[in-house]
Structure 1
Amino acid sequence: MKTIVCFGDSNSYGTPPMPHPDFWGRFGPDERWPGVMRRAVGADITAIEEALPGRTTVHDDPIEGADRNGLKALPMVLGSHRPIDLLIINLGTNDLKARFSVTADDIAASVGVLVRFTQASQAGPNSSAPKVLVVAPAIILETSFFREYFQGGAEKSRGFARAFGAMATRLGVPLLDAASLITSDPLDGIHLDPSQHAILGQALAEKVRTILT
């Protein structure tokens, strides 16, 4: 049995497109991309969802809280679920918030910090390092009430494929460019509808089969 940990934000947690700021919801386990991926890969894996809405790569969020910092959470995640065969990192969208004032290259470099931390860990089988798969997030749309939060973020997100690709090559890890496959829902410009979760989950299943065989 192989263990995959899906380390992400609200688009891994399964937050539906939000019609207003006070909306809360979550797609079911079989609708979220980790569940789609798990079913597509088969019964020989367990896929653990470690996803938190608002999670950043390496930043304490001054409004939503320091617990959103992915780098602070990662040691606990690796320790809690070891031995981990594969860590899938699907982060970067929340770093696009205007309050962080970072570029696409900065965000890719921040994901690289998470990759290097994992590669230096002993959280894999026989105290080795887990394998890592990086997802470059979908392009966002500056629509709805999120427009002010993510001002300028749409243009930055269009640089994810290039920036994440260069980082992944440097660190020797595989990459899935989600923007080449899926689109953010125009209702809020950030989240994915079930059809996009299904596409992403199937694409990741194909990657996972290659990585873990």
Structure 2
Amino acid sequence: MVREVLAFGDSLTWGVDPGTGRHPFADRWTSILESMDGDMRVIAEGLPGRTTCFDDHDGPADRNGASILPVLLASHSPLDTVIIMLGTNDLKPHLCGKAEGAAKGIERLVEIVVTFPYGHGRPPPNLLLVSPPHFRKPATPDGVLSGGRSIAESRKLAGLYAAIAARWGCGFFEAATVAEASLKDGIHLDAQNTRAVGAAISSLLGTH
């Protein structure tokens, strides 16, 4: 029986390549996840700039994750698993800038997944929270992260997300244990690292 998995995220899930623009389909972590399990279909719902729950009108699409998630839960139902990897854009100072704010947004998304009325007596899907890789100082002339984001704040996300997962009884994975941001921009992943995220998540889901 094929398992339906929704991967809900931002540019890290969309597959931004800091060198070329976007990774080929085969190098995106969602593609790796699907390829490693023949009984899994991964619905890749990544959008560059997406936040957990903050409005950001600096783009042509709605970037507020809490606004769009209920639509996706309904349109892709029934789902076996939802994977959420967000928070990097919440750390833009003009939106929030703090890991605590991103964590509150993540908890709101967890609440949406758990309480959504799926119908037909269906229980909520399994849920896996993924804290994104830490930012690091880019090897650029100014050495500054785009949007004024903070490396220190990015390092706080894992602990906060792990606590949320424990409260709600869902899964948690720290992507920084297998991947690090590219020196080209200090935020996004090269092909090797995005592949590593997909392989690690495959191992986790394969144990369920």
- Which of 24, 27, 32 is the matching residue for 1:28? 24
**Alpha-carbon deviation of 1:63?**
2.4
Residues 9 and 118 of structure 1, relative CA distance in 2, 3 Å threshold: same
TM-score, normalised relative to structure 2:
0.91
- Which of 146, 149, 154 is the matching residue for 2:151? 154
User: Larger % of helix: which?
Assistant: 1
**Alpha-carbon deviation of 1:118?**
0.4
Query: Is this contact kept in 1: 2:90–2:101, CA < 8 A?
Result: no
2:7 corresponds to 1:10: no
2:51 corresponds to 1:50: no
Residues 25 and 149 of structure 1, relative CA distance in 2, 3 Å threshold: closer
Query: Is this contact kept in 1: 2:145–2:186, CA < 8 A?
Result: no
State the partner residue of 1:165: 162
Residues 43 and 85 of structure 1, relative CA distance in 2, 3 Å threshold: same
Query: Is this contact kept in 2: 1:108–1:164, CA < 8 A?
Result: yes
Query: Is this contact kept in 2: 1:83–1:126, CA < 8 A?
Result: no
Partner AA of 1:2 in structure 2: R
Residue aligned with 1:95, SS: coil
Q: CA RMSD in A?
A: 2.0
- Structure 1, unaligned stretches of length 5 or more? 19-23
Partner AA of 1:136 in structure 2: S
How many residue pairs get matched?
205
Which whole-Å CA distance do the structure 2 matches of 1:117 and 1:86 have between them?
A: 14
Query: Is this contact kept in 2: 1:84–1:123, CA < 8 A?
Result: no
TM-score, normalised relative to structure 1:
0.89
- Which of 100, 109, 134 is the matching residue for 2:104? 109
Identity, in percent, stands at 34
**Alpha-carbon deviation of 1:101?**
3.0
Query: Is this contact kept in 2: 1:84–1:124, CA < 8 A?
Result: no
- Which of 51, 63, 72 is the matching residue for 1:68? 63
**Alpha-carbon deviation of 1:183?**
0.3
Runs of 4+ in 1 over 4 A off after TM superposition: none
Taking the TM superposition and a 5 Å limit, the aligned residue runs for 1:166-205 are 166-205=163-202
2:74 corresponds to 1:79: yes
- The superposition leaves residues 85-130 of structure 1 with CA deviations (integer Å, 9 ceiling, x where unpaired) of 0000011111111212342122112111101110011348852211
**Alpha-carbon deviation of 1:160?**
1.2
- The superposition leaves residues 44-75 of structure 1 with CA deviations (integer Å, 9 ceiling, x where unpaired) of 11111011011000011142366011011101
Partner AA of 2:123 in structure 1: S
